Amino acid sequence: MIRTLNNCPAPAKLNLFLHVTGRRPDGYHLLQTVFQLVDFNDLLHFEVRDDDQIRRSTDIPGVPEESDLIVRAAKLLQSAIRAKGTSAPTALGANIGIEKKLPMGGGLGGGSSDAATTLMALNHLWQGGLSREELMALGLQLGADVPFFLFGRNAFAEGIGESLQKLDTPALWFVIIQPGVAIPTAIIFSSSELTRNTKPVKMTDFSIGTKKLFGKNDLEAVAVSNFPEVAEAINWLGNFGEARMTGSGACVFCAFTEEHEADKVLKLVPSQWKAWKAKAMQEHPLAGLLKN
């Protein structure tokens, strides 16, 4: 039995567009978006324990262990494996460490990606035998973005983000700026300023260029009006192409066809901001651990 999996990536995502098309009676928003995986990620480390304890071996400021999506994902998987009655080992415990690079409140899906990587890695280590679809169903209990990371590929998403269709995207480079503010998702989605009636599009309508991105991010106007730091970053990055916020913010990005173009812009980013370049990926690095 394998007892450790180290350096497991939890990649960021970008929303190449994000339309809010309605709202369900239960309050969840209906969305359309394209999720793009990029090679900027957290790293997680897993070690099997000989008991049923789930312990986070890394402190994350502001995130108590018991409420961390990583720990919640591990406990949810533990219960699902027990309920399924597979031939998994008697003890389903783990020590989980994380090297955190993705900013919280950045719209890059960091917490959701960490949870998905946890489900993939521990399902493998614990020999849980859950399929991709079963893991995606578990992931949806943790957050609307988690199923995408378990889907394992770039996707056109609908519903609350759980209805996914495979989509091949261009080989682009992105400059991503963290404008120095964290935006709680709930603030954006609960805003009276948010429009919720964008006309639905079809996946075949989607196209992307580096000069003009498809559609828009309906959440951006709300974020910009409440967080001037986001507006400032979008305006600056917009000097080099179309700049857009990802998710509910706060990170903004601009796409480039060549790495040297991204490098040139990255060198010019004002020192008050954190910034990275990231390459578009077509597949999740841990997709090989998933069983259809």
Please give the DSSP secondary-structure letter assigned to residue 268. T
Delimit the domains of the chain by residue range: 4-166, 173-281
Q: Read off the tokens for 85.
A: 């009655």
CATH placement of domain 173-281: 3.30.70.890
Contact 81, 126 (CB under 8 A): yes
Contact 213, 16 (CB under 8 A): yes
54 forms beta bridges with: 94
User: What is the topology classification, in CATH, of domain 4-166?
Assistant: Ribosomal Protein S5; domain 2 (3.30.230)
Active-site residue list: 13, 145
- For 224-267, write each residue's pLDDT tens digit: 999 999 999 999 999 999 999 999 999 999 999 999 999 999 99
Contact 1, 127 (CB under 8 A): yes
User: Which pTM does this prediction carry?
Assistant: 0.96
Query: CA 107 to CA 246: how far, in whole Å?
Result: 5
Compare 222 and 86 and report the one with higher pLDDT.
Answer: 222
Residue type, position 28, single letter: Y
- For 23-33, write each residue's pLDDT tens digit: 999 888 999 99
Cα dist from 277 to 102, 154, 172, 179, whole Å: 13, 18, 11, 15
When pLDDT is averaged across residues 44-56 and rounded to a whole number, the result is 96
> CB neighbours of 27 closer than 8 A, spacing ≥ 6?
none
Residue type, position 41, single letter: N
Read off the pLDDT band of 1 (50, 70, 90): low
CA angle 142, 40, 3 (to 5 degrees): 65
- For 88-110, write each residue's pLDDT tens digit: 677 899 999 999 999 999 999 99
